[in-house]
Amino acid sequence: MLDDFLVRAALAGVGVSLAAAPLGCFIVWRRMAYFGDATAHAAMLGVALSLTLSTPIFAGVLLISLLMAVTVSTLSGRGYAMDTLLGVMAHSALAVGLVAVSFLSGVRIDLMAYLFGDILAVGKTDLAIIWGGALLVLVMVGYRWSALLLSTLNPDLAMASGISPRREQLVLTIALAIVVAVAIKVVGVLLIAAMLIIPAASARRFSRTPEVMALMAAIIGACANVAGLSFSYHFDSPTGPTIVCVVAVLFIALNTIQLISQRLSARLTSIRQD
């Protein structure tokens, strides 16, 4: 069954969605959208490093993503505004990575595949790496779920309970780096942040608990991956951007449904009161 490239692509997309969903929720809650973007952009430098040293792309991307995440976490709150710091590091890392790749001699590289993903080229080894990384992230986040949630909602209460918010942020950044490393093959450097944020933002209005939001985000992301893959196959469009387009349409549709539902509910309440 795994000899079918469409099946491998669908499984890869679902694996990335499962790993990205809970992290996306924390990024939305903490208002760290730019943080995910910065870590993803740094992945291009990891690609250049891997090609230079002839090592697996996953290893280089994971190393650079971890360095970026830890550096941002360390420098934040030390005289640097977070948005300024992320802006400088995100665009600098992406630019340096693209320039470094252009200087590699004797190496043929499909730059578009790394920028926008090449999910249809996912092999069995890639699939094993994606699902292995996804399971590792789910175990990390699941094990630290309560501590992460408390440090997100109320850092002062977390400290009073013996939980270090800075340590929990480090756990979150490490998990994010792993997701970026496994997702680069699916949606590419420029679209990873979209798959982290949009499913979580779509699920937010329909969720009464954090756990439900994470579950709904995973379902929305998985459905968007499968639907986007199908549309891409039938209409011969670029797969990574098509997946993001589908999840964006779902975001608009779900928010429209929520808005209509709220207005109808308000109108019915007004009629009953009259």
CA distances from 100 to 45, 58, 105, 169 (A): 8, 17, 10, 30
- The dotted CATH code for 5-273 is 1.10.3470.10
Name the one residue in this structure whose structure tokens are 């001699």.
105
State how far the Cα of 274 lies from the Cα of 264, in Å rounded to an integer.
Answer: 15
DSSP-derived secondary structure for 152-202: HH-HHHHHHTT--HHHHHHHHHHHHHHHHHHHTTTT-TTTHHHHHHHHHHH
**pTM of the entire predicted model:** 0.84
The residue type of 55 is: T
Q: In this model, does residue 52 exceed pLDDT 90?
A: no
pLDDT at residue 218, as a whole number: 92
Domain residues of the chain, as ranges? 5-273
pLDDT at residue 50, as a whole number: 80
CB 192 within 8 A of CB 43: yes
In the predicted model, what is the mean pLDDT of the chain? 82
Rounded average pLDDT over 141-146: 90
CB 202 within 8 A of CB 247: yes
State how far the Cα of 261 lies from the Cα of 28, in Å rounded to an integer.
Answer: 23
Rounded average pLDDT over 241-251: 91
pLDDT tens digit string along 77-90? 555 566 677 777 77
In this prediction, residue 136 has a pLDDT band, given cuts at 50, 70 and 90, of very high
In this prediction, residue 217 has a pLDDT band, given cuts at 50, 70 and 90, of very high
State how far the Cα of 203 lies from the Cα of 133, in Å rounded to an integer.
Answer: 23
State how far the Cα of 147 lies from the Cα of 167, in Å rounded to an integer.
Answer: 10
pLDDT at residue 76, as a whole number: 63
pLDDT tens digit string along 147-182? 888 888 888 888 888 888 888 888 888 888 888 888
